[in-house]
Structures are given as structure tokens and as C-alpha cells.
Amino acid sequence: LSKSSQLANQLAQQLRTADTPDGVRLFSLLTLGELGRKCPKVYENDSTLKPEELLVDAFNSSSEELKTAASYSLGMLAVGNLEKFLPFLLKQINSQPKRQYLLLHALKEVIGSESVDMKAMEFFRPRIEQIWPVLMDHAIWPVLMDHAVCAEEGTRNVVAECLGKLCLVHPESLLPLLKDCTVSKNPLMRASAVTAVKFLIVEQWTAADDLLHDAMPDFLQTVNDRDLNIRDILDVFLPSLYAETMVKKELVREVEMGPFKHTVDDGLDLRKAAFECMYTLLETCLERLEINEFMTHMESGLKDHHDIKLLTCLMLARLAALCPTQVLQRLDRLCEPLKVSFKRGLI
């Protein structure tokens, strides 16, 4: 412990010295945070050493790398001693609006850290009621109203990640609150709530999974939202969706059943889901779609499994009513697979 205290004082001195090179300063910031996480008693016994103030002072640096390191280390400091440093962090978020982006990153480290042990979680859980209003009131309402006007989404995205990871800690009480945000009158609130959901979806099973399953229809309903802030990922999402409409040969296998061979397509259910998503987009977001590209991928459904053919025919009928000109331009290509299906009595 004495050696750790000596190291902490040396690091603090390097940060206080004006002519310390940026490389050394970066090392000092990160090491202060790691000391706080691994050996929190270092800062409990020395009242003169205030690492939280040193880290917050580093936010004034012109170097983005140093500011990011200070934010990360402040989070690690709080992970090591929630009782001492979490109230400080929340107070800073409340009182320092210009630094909220960095401070929220620090809070994100606290919420998402796998290093928080059960004893620390006992302290952390009761303070969720303090953290949630900080995220909702200060990050979503005044700050995001200011930043979103200039198309700055960084703060809102960090807030969404904090909200999502916070819901994993206490899903029973927080997930209903997040669901309520999807019907807020403020579109930025709705956008942040929807963005938070992706941070609830993790590889390992969690207690939130069953609750999220029940709440998912409310979140997915936002695909009908009129505000583009809520639907702004459609352009990024579409290529991935279209890719799932194609038959993947690596998912098709032959199974021997006695003297017979049966073809099994493990990708069929996923393709069905992709075409169902396309149908939903056609009904709700037609103005956001590039119709020719949409129809190119839709055509493959006319040569697919019977269930997908039926769904594609429904889309084709809808497109004929909504975009007759584009359908007429592709009539020759559309008729050929339809003719084959009619002859075989598949439709």
C-alpha cells in the first residue's frame, strides 16, 4: 500500500507540472484510474491527494486523447470506490453542462464495468434512482435540446448506452420507465429510448431478456414514428436486411432419411423474417426506400420457398398500387418466375 501511495503521489505531481510531456501525462491519467480500481485504499488514506479533481482538470486539455483518458480513468476511479466517487461524478454531471459528454462516458464505464463486485453493487443499486433522473433530466432535456439542434448526436448516444446498461442492472423497475419514454412528446427522448434497446441485447442470458421480450413490440412500434430521428438508421440497416433475402448455400444441407435424401434450408426462417421486414417497411416507410433497389431484392422472393413467394406476391400487389410505373418497367422480369409458379400450381 505504501508503494502504491508513493506511485499515486508521483503521478499526481506529473499531472500538476505544466511542462510534463503529453505521453507521460497520458500514462499518469490512466494509471491513476487503474490504481483507484485495483487498490482503492490508496485514495482513502491520503486526504491531500484528490485524484478526481486531477482527472476533471484534465478535461481542459486541448488533446482529445488526454480528455478521453481522463474520462475513462474517472469511471475506473468510481468503480473502485462507488461510495466516495459516484456522488462526485453525479454532482459533476449536474453542474458541468459543457463537460457532460466526457462525464457521461465516465458514468458509462461505471455502469458497464464487469469489475463491480457484489458488495459494490449493493451500494450501486440504491443509487440507480439518483442516476436515472440525471440521465433523463439533464442529458435528454436541456443538453440534448441544445446539441441536437446542431446535429450533434454524441451526447445522446452516450446517454442511450448508459440507459440501456442501467436497465441490465435493474430491469424490473427501469425497463418499464424506458418503455414509457417511447411515447414521450419529445422526439429526442423517443430516439434515445429506442437506441438504448440495442445495449440491452447482449450475448449472454440476463434477467432482462424475458422482460425485454414482452416489451419489444412497444419498441418496434417506433418504426412508424414520424420523426426521422427515430428512424434515421434505416439507410444503414437496409443493406444488411437485403443481404438476408438471398439463399445462403452454406446453410443448405442434405439429410439422408433411409433411401431418400431431404434438403434442409437452415436459413429459411431468417429469410422469411427479412421479407416480413421488407413488407413492413413498404407499408410504413415507402418515402425512405429506393424503389428500384427494393424491387431487385424482392424479385428473388418469387423464386424462393412457397411461404416467401406468397409474401412477395403481397408486396408486388402493394407496389402495383403504390408505384405502378416502376412495376411496369420490370414487368418482363417479374412475369417469368410468376409464370413458372402458376404452371406448377404453387401460387
Cell of 28: 499518469
What is residue 134's DSSP assignment?
Answer: I
- Closest to 263 measured CA to CA, from 309, 308, 310, 305: 305
Task: Please tell me the pTM assigned to this model.
Answer: 0.58
Q: What is the DSSP string of 136-200?
A: IIIIIIIIHHHHHHTT--HHHHHHHHHHHHHHHHSHHHHHHHHHHHTT-SSHHHHHHHHHHHTTT
Q: What is the mean pLDDT of residues 9-18?
A: 88
Q: Tens digit of pLDDT for each residue in 228-270? A: 566 665 666 788 788 888 888 888 888 888 888 888 888 888 8
Cα(124)–Cα(111) distance, rounded to whole angstroms?
Answer: 9
Find cell 400450381 and name the residue: 345
pLDDT on residue 108: 83
Q: Which CATH number fits domain 2-230: 1.20.120.420, 3.90.600.10, 3.40.50.740, 1.25.10.10?
A: 1.25.10.10
Q: How far is CA 311 from CA 153, 203, 266, 298, 345, in A?
A: 37, 31, 19, 10, 16
Alpha carbon 97 to its chain's center: 23
- Closest to 36 measured CA to CA, from 62, 18, 22, 54: 54
Q: How far is CA 145 from CA 139, 188, 206, 223, 320, in A?
A: 9, 8, 33, 22, 42
Tell me the pLDDT band of 149, cut-offs 50, 70 and 90: very low
Q: What is the mean pLDDT of residues 122-145?
A: 51
Tell me the pLDDT band of 206, cut-offs 50, 70 and 90: low
Tell me the pLDDT band of 338, cut-offs 50, 70 and 90: confident
The larger pLDDT score, comparing residue 320 to residue 145, is at 320
Q: Tens digit of pLDDT for each residue in 47-71? A: 677 888 899 999 988 889 999 999 9
pLDDT on residue 144: 30
Q: How far is CA 323 from CA 1, 289, 294, in A?
A: 74, 12, 12
Nearest-5° angle of CA 81, CA 109, CA 187?
130
Cα(238)–Cα(252) distance, rounded to whole angstroms?
Answer: 24
Q: How many CB atoms neighbour CB 133 within 10 A?
A: 11
Tell me the pLDDT band of 140, cut-offs 50, 70 and 90: very low
Nearest-5° angle of CA 177, CA 179, CA 185?
95
Q: How far is CA 137 from CA 10, 218, 251, 318, in A?
A: 39, 22, 48, 43
Residue 141 has pLDDT above 60, yes or no: no
Q: Which of 51-55, 69-73, 117-121, 158-162 has the lowest mean pLDDT?
A: 117-121
CB 36 within 8 A of CB 81: yes
What is residue 120's DSSP assignment?
Answer: H
Find cell 485495483 and name the residue: 38
CB 83 within 8 A of CB 43: no
Residue 135 has pLDDT above 80, yes or no: no
Cα(79)–Cα(37) distance, rounded to whole angstroms?
Answer: 6
194: CB partners within 8 A, 6+ apart: 182, 219, 222, 230
β partners of residue 253: 264
Cα(214)–Cα(148) distance, rounded to whole angstroms?
Answer: 31
Domain boundaries, the chain: 2-230, 237-254+261-343
CB 82 within 8 A of CB 41: no
pLDDT on residue 120: 56
